[in-house]
Structure 1
Amino acid sequence: MMRPGMLLALLLSPLAMAGPVNCPEQPIRLAYYEYGLLYDSGRGIDKDVAEELMRRSGCRFSTSVLPRARIWADLASGELDMSMSGIQTAERDRFAWFAPYLAMKNYALLNKSAAAKISKADDFLANPDLQFGVVRAFRHGKQQDEWLAQLRQQQRIQESPDAETLYQKLKQGRVSAIFSQPPVFAKYLQKLGMQSSILIEDWTPGERGVPHGLILAKQRFSQEDAQRWQVLVRQLRDDGTLRTIFLRHLGPAEAQTLLDF
């Protein structure tokens, strides 16, 4: 049973007191980026989450689709107000607030020709003939980013502007492996007919999925504004809306992993 003092502290917390969001006079400029089942040709998990936030907030929005690197630059400069499924870092904390609504873990996807010689990340690192592919400006998780930094020092990283280009390189053998998440490889392995030629492995079994969230530019939103949006996002999880959205695009097991944040 909750003690009265604990209940009072909860009721008086800034998030509990935040209330409905404050809608700015000008439409909120929100950008999506094309990425697997998160956003794919006008539909996806991010689109569904954003539309639910639009409905519940009552605010006016102006939306666009931009490359991921451009989105981060525009959020930092104030040219953009909001985006979806971003990873919080110390660098990004300088210009943005975050409200997580899903967690995604990156798995290693290997061409089966390379997989015959590779059973773990250290095996890949030890083979100088193998190239690894990444999407430019993407963050993967602490262990995976530290491992990738070693490959960068050896000039064994190939960057791509988007996920589809990355998967094309994997299919063509221009890279031997990539990191990717279930909502992304669920789309591209089927789209490119790669299901039988790719092996999926967990190279960081002790690492949980990385939280991804709504991104709010500090040039547009105050800390109090951000807290109000965080409350709204949290309500989507608490009332089951996020689960419903995830199940719209993924199977039950995959949808459950997204809620682990």
Structure 2
Amino acid sequence: MKKAFLAHLAYYACRAAAPGLLALAPLYAEAACSRTINVPISPIGQSVVISGDSISGVYPDVLRAASSKDGCSFEFSVVPRARLDALFESGKADLLIPASKSARRDAQGTFVPLIFGRATIITVTSSRPPIRNAQDLLDRHELKVALVRGFDFGDTYQKLVKELTRQGRVYLDTDAVSVARLLQSGIADVTIMAPSIMAGAIQDEPHTPGLLEKLRFEPIDELPWSDSGAYISKALGDADRAALRELLERSAKTGMVWNAFQRYYPASTLAGSIKPR
């Protein structure tokens, strides 16, 4: 009799507690990583901003905000842009962000789209006729092209860069600010990158005064809107990859990524360069 009474009591106690347990269930279903995630980064407009020991910008802000909710912590290290792909390919970078999707990177990681982005032809405004397409750029042998070493806007971009390099027309530099200086000085005539990267890099740059107002952005069909996001290294364990994927996808779906872009960039800079998914 006593056992029956205790069993009966336990049944109703469980029923009473069930709503609370169900309410707590999502907390335990959140993503969580087994260790600190290694994220080497380099300056890229306002998407990643390095100022002394301070690291900020769109993507560091998004990862920090997500880490407080999802139980994953991130350790940032500053490296030259050209080293990022090498670190990722060797498995020494757990996360490559920001990154455009490419077949080369697909071999080392899992791509998670976060935003739509677009690279364009960028020149200093002049009487020169606009560049209409990729072949037009290839045919104008007098135009020198400055590019950031390590940038990758997809397979078509890589093919275009390969041919321009074969023609001996390419200056490779370390970052967008250095490329902007080449345009300002007239050493280079053209660059190819997302307008938001260029604008973000020079908006507070004292060595390129007035350049932003002089720039001409020329979209071409060969560089269409495409996914921009992050690559998760295949060197990570399955559980950590799944946790990071869940964290990143939630950041895009909830508008966290787009809101961060709007905080860092004026609307005029984002137009034609970045848009939400």
Same fold (TM over 0.5): yes
> Structure 1 198/24 Cα, relative in aligned 2: closer, same or farther at 3 Å?
same
Deviations 1:227-247 (A, max 9, x none): 332222222222232232121
Tell me the distance in 2 between the aligned counterparts of 1:238 and 1:77.
30
Matched, 1:210 2:226: yes
Matches within 5 A, 1:65-76: 65-76=78-89
Give the number of the structure whose alpha-carbon radius of gyration is greater: 2
Per-residue deviation at 1:175? 1.1
The question of whether the paired residues in 1 share the 8 Å contact of 2:120 and 2:217 is answered with yes
Tell me the distance in 1 between the aligned counterparts of 2:213 and 2:273.
24
Letter of the 2:49 counterpart: D
The alignment partner of 1:195 has SS state of helix
The alignment partner of 1:187 has SS state of helix
Tell me the distance in 1 between the aligned counterparts of 2:224 and 2:76.
31
Letter of the 1:21 counterpart: A
Tell me the distance in 2 between the aligned counterparts of 1:78 and 1:221.
12
Deviations 1:157-186 (A, max 9, x none): 111121111111111111110012132122
Per-residue deviation at 1:257? 5.9
The question of whether the paired residues in 1 share the 8 Å contact of 2:110 and 2:234 is answered with yes
Match of 1:116 among 112, 125, 128: 128
The question of whether the paired residues in 2 share the 8 Å contact of 1:106 and 1:179 is answered with yes
> Structure 1 80/243 Cα, relative in aligned 2: closer, same or farther at 3 Å?
closer
Q: Give the structure-1-normalised TM-score.
A: 0.80
Q: What residue ranges of structure 2 are gaps of 5+ in the alignment? A: 1-28
The question of whether the paired residues in 1 share the 8 Å contact of 2:121 and 2:191 is answered with yes
Tell me the distance in 2 between the aligned counterparts of 1:170 and 1:256.
21
Q: What residue ranges of structure 1 are gaps of 5+ in the alignment? A: 1-18
Q: Give the structure-2-normalised TM-score.
A: 0.76
The question of whether the paired residues in 2 share the 8 Å contact of 1:246 and 1:255 is answered with no
Per-residue deviation at 1:189? 4.5
Matches within 5 A, 1:1-261: 19-25=29-35, 27-41=36-50, 42-113=55-126, 116-121=128-133, 122-190=135-203, 191=205, 192-193=208-209, 194-204=211-221, 207-222=223-238, 224-252=239-267, 254=270, 258-261=274-277
Q: How many residues align?
A: 239
Letter of the 2:48 counterpart: Y
Tell me the distance in 2 between the aligned counterparts of 1:142 and 1:93.
12
